Structure 1
Amino acid sequence: MPVRNMLFALLLGLILPAPGVRAAEPAGKVVRLQGGAEARQDDASRVLAAGDPVRAGETLRTGPGSRLLVLFADGMELTLSDGAEMTVAAFDWDARQAAGKAELTLGRGSFLLRTGAVGKLPDHPLTVRTPLASVGVRGTQFWGGPLDAPLSVLLIEGRVVVSSPTGSVELGTPGEGTSVTEPGATPLPPTFWGEQRIQRAFATVGFEN
């Protein structure tokens, strides 16, 4: 089976986002939730439920055994694993002007990201930052999190550039991945992940049926 087809077959079997759901202002909304999750900003926190809004500046946190799927106003989809923490550091999308920007900051856990309109803009104004490296998004779908290394990144579709203070690598073929082994380390050269490792990555963000 071609690598691209295998990736999508595995993904579809694990994650089934609700169809036909539209994002709510100002940034997006929860479209699927398994277990418990909360949104925190400054000293305030709120328990999340399906349909709740997600705002720029909030930190999203998931509990043990939980999964969280957020649909943003530009069509971007973010899925978080259990025990994850992701901050919506910035999000802005003006559909009439076809302009915007977005920045997500991973504190811990794993995630799956499918870009929307912001991630496909010519100047690539979408970045995902992690404690070990940042990921420059080029209209794509990819997974990131700890897997056989403190940080690993798997490309599902499109292209990403994974950068640390000491260097960067580009992933441009579905099934390619890289890892950062420790703080300050350069991302490892891209390699193709086997089906077993890909399944392990997808399992961290897959919802129970």
Structure 2
Amino acid sequence: MLKIFTLLLLFASFLFANIGIVSLVEGKATILRNGQTLGANIGDKVENKDVISTQVNSKIKITFIDNTIVTIGKESSLNIEEYIFNTSTKEAKTELNVLKGAFHTITGEIGKVNPDKFKLKTKSASIGIRGTEFYGDENRIVCTQGRIIVLSNSVSVDVPSGNYINIFANQRPSVPLPLENSTLDNIIERLNTNNQSSNNGVDNFNNVPSSPLALEGSTLRTLDNLDNQNSWGNWNENLQSLQDDKNNAILNNSIQNGINSTDNNPAVAITDSSYVQSLMDSANSIQLSFSGTISSTELNPGETIDPSSFISLDIYLGGGSNSVAGNYNFSTNQLRNYSGTFVNSTVDKDGFFASDSSDSFIEGKYYGQNISSVGGIIKMQYPGGITTNGTFSATR
């Protein structure tokens, strides 16, 4: 009797531990399990509480026993907080946490049996599913199949297939917006591993008919070394920070030369006015916050701008009220000093205007696909009437 009981315990332990396998590795990946770091290879089993991580130019794909597929991209980490799937009792639960980096998820049987028990957490949102394929990045969550429920900053948003929402730190998310192909292109570029084969020498893995992963390419276009373009996201703060600095410099240069957009720098092209209008017409209000710099060519010989000079703007769109608020400070080494708080403003789909009590004002435009930055001209005026003209650029 004791032997039978022991065998049952061992069998139950095996079922609990065997929740999925590593079904693809490109580059180098590891599994942190019970304080021990293990190299990840195709065919390795994954367990609850495993933390799976990838290195530079690497990715790993996990196929769970219900055929849920999760891929994480380069320099990413996934924590399998809890996974239960019992075909006999229909008990099912999935809690995954993308700690950093890129991910791609296609839900399996759990999405059909018990969709309310599937949760994937990211840096700033929790995602529930309804038979779904989805992706996200630090600013957006996109649904490409089925529908998802996104909870961010205590606000729940239902996102149907073909739509995405913008998410913000310490702000309510946007309303669902129609998905455009260009929304995904920059993410694809950032997620290319540049690896030509897996570390196990298995070629054309996604084309093997017996593999569950072959389903991914059956109705979707295939790109070498890339997962499907409709299902990736990224939390790469360092890269985004560098891109913001680059955009700021390009914006300043473009504004100084009277250029509204640059063909070879789509990241700083003027925002599509129809997108801005959709935010303005939304029943829900969103707040977009920007910080940046001020430049001027009206300086004396030897005069330089103090590094502490800044401009800070909050643009409110939707909810029946569209406005701009903010403040600025501009000073130089020759004691030129301007500052002001913008109290009056007008906003439309093509740009905005704001002024302070001393007749200083800004006129700006929106840049980037999702208004990632703003820029324009600024007129700074002393209370006594002396003015200095300049330009400003600011990023979210």
Return the letter of the residue paired with 1:54. Answer: V
Distance 2:26 2:32 in 1: 18
Q: Residues 68 and 195 of structure 1: is their aligned pair in 2 closer, same or farther, counting only changes over 3 Å?
A: same
Return the letter of the residue paired with 1:95. Answer: T
Q: How does 1:109-120 map onto structure 2 within 5 Å? A: 109-120=101-112
Distance 1:72 1:93 in 2: 9
Q: Does 1:104 align with 2:92?
A: no
Aligned partner of 1:191 in structure 2 is: 177
| Number of residues of Structure 1 aligned to a counterpart in Structure 2 | 180
1:82 to 60, 74, 78: 74
Aligned partner of 1:130 in structure 2 is: 122
Q: Residues 122 and 61 of structure 1: is their aligned pair in 2 closer, same or farther, counting only changes over 3 Å?
A: closer
2:168 to 176, 181, 186: 181
Distance 1:124 1:72 in 2: 18
Aligned partner of 2:277 in structure 1 is: none
Aligned partner of 1:201 in structure 2 is: 187
Select the structure of larger CA radius of gyration.
Answer: 2
Q: Would you say the 8 A contact 1:82–1:204 is kept in 2?
A: no
Q: CA deviation at 1:189?
A: 1.3
Distance 1:203 1:27 in 2: 32
What residue ranges of structure 2 are gaps of 5+ in the alignment? Answer: 1-16, 196-223, 225-396
Q: CA deviation at 1:43?
A: 1.7
Q: Would you say the 8 A contact 1:166–1:185 is kept in 2?
A: no
Q: CA deviation at 1:160?
A: 0.5
Q: CA deviation at 1:55?
A: 0.8
Return the letter of the residue paired with 2:161. Answer: T
Q: Does 1:51 align with 2:43?
A: yes
Distance 2:113 2:28 in 1: 34
Q: CA deviation at 1:203?
A: 4.7
Distance 1:91 1:168 in 2: 24
Distance 1:118 1:204 in 2: 30
Q: Does 1:140 align with 2:132?
A: yes
Distance 1:42 1:185 in 2: 37
Q: Does 1:63 align with 2:49?
A: no
Q: Does 1:171 align with 2:171?
A: no
Q: 1:82 is paired with a residue of what secondary structure?
A: coil
Distance 1:51 1:72 in 2: 12
Q: CA deviation at 1:135?
A: 0.4
Q: TM-score, normalised by structure 2?
A: 0.43
Distance 1:181 1:165 in 2: 9
Distance 1:206 1:139 in 2: 27
Distance 1:77 1:120 in 2: 14
**% same residue:** 21
Distance 2:153 2:168 in 1: 13
Q: CA deviation at 1:120?
A: 1.9
Return the letter of the residue paired with 1:43. Answer: G
Q: 2:184 is paired with a residue of what secondary structure?
A: helix
Q: Residues 204 and 31 of structure 1: is their aligned pair in 2 closer, same or farther, counting only changes over 3 Å?
A: farther
Distance 1:159 1:202 in 2: 22
Q: CA deviation at 1:29?
A: 0.7
Q: Would you say the 8 A contact 1:62–1:82 is kept in 2?
A: yes
Q: CA deviation at 1:185?
A: 2.1
CA RMSD of aligned residues (A): 2.0
Larger strand proportion of the pair: 1
Q: Residues 60 and 169 of structure 1: is their aligned pair in 2 closer, same or farther, counting only changes over 3 Å?
A: same
Distance 2:53 2:184 in 1: 24
Distance 1:73 1:155 in 2: 23
CA offsets per residue over residues 106-152 of structure 1, 9 Å max, x none? 11111110001112224521000122110011111111233xx3xx2
Return the letter of the residue paired with 2:44. Answer: D
Q: CA deviation at 1:69?
A: 0.9
Q: Residues 201 and 40 of structure 1: is their aligned pair in 2 closer, same or farther, counting only changes over 3 Å?
A: same
Q: Does 1:156 align with 2:148?
A: no
Q: 1:169 is paired with a residue of what secondary structure?
A: strand
